[in-house]
Structure 1
Amino acid sequence: DKAVSFVTDWGSNMVKAGESLKERLSNYVGSVNCLQHLISNGLKDFAKNDSLASVISKAKEVVQYMTGHGAPCAIYDEKKKELHGTALIKAGTTRFGSNVMSMESVELNE
């Protein structure tokens, strides 16, 4: 006998496909929700807290300003070389983890 397990995010299409497979092959197929996806969704909900959302927004503004203006960017690049060599990271729109990395880079570059 062979057993199959699959890991998915919680997209409605994946849930429906998993249910269909389990109906047809109930003795052999199981599914596991992706822990990383679960944590990411939890952090997205946590980030809806007003004070945390404000911190994330301000960190994004700092990074946007520093990377989008020539003079501050040039000064930052010189200081970065002297101190630690770490770049500012822009937050992506699709992953909460990028907000965390962006805020860490702002803190490191204070």
Structure 2
Amino acid sequence: MKGTLLVLALLVTQELGIEMVKSCPIFYVIFGAVAAGGKLPLDACLDLVNVTEPEKVAMEKIQDCYNEKGLQAKALDLTVMATITTGKQCISEAVAPLKNAITLLGR
């Protein structure tokens, strides 16, 4: 299951060619759709980033894994996500645009 999160992160941040900072919100949206377990919400989220058909099939396979493993797998990955999200680097990247906006307003 640890590999699932890694594959998802790689698909969103590298394979789709989106810069890391810009991909953060869409990463959480797609991760949420995968964990939710429904094919329709996942397809809608994947359409936002113009994934190819093979990428869509791969994400659906990841979603099938989540659905097979149930709530325990989702809870474990949620713990990993919370750890990553509350990490120093993630917080500083999330706050940087806000700092820039405040700096520009102060001028």
**What's the TM-score, normalizing by structure 2?**
0.24
Question: TM-score, with normalisation over the residues of structure 1?
Answer: 0.24
Instruction: Give the strand-richer structure, 1 or 2.
Output: 1
Name whichever structure is richer in helix by fraction.
2
Q: Which has the larger radius of gyration?
A: 1
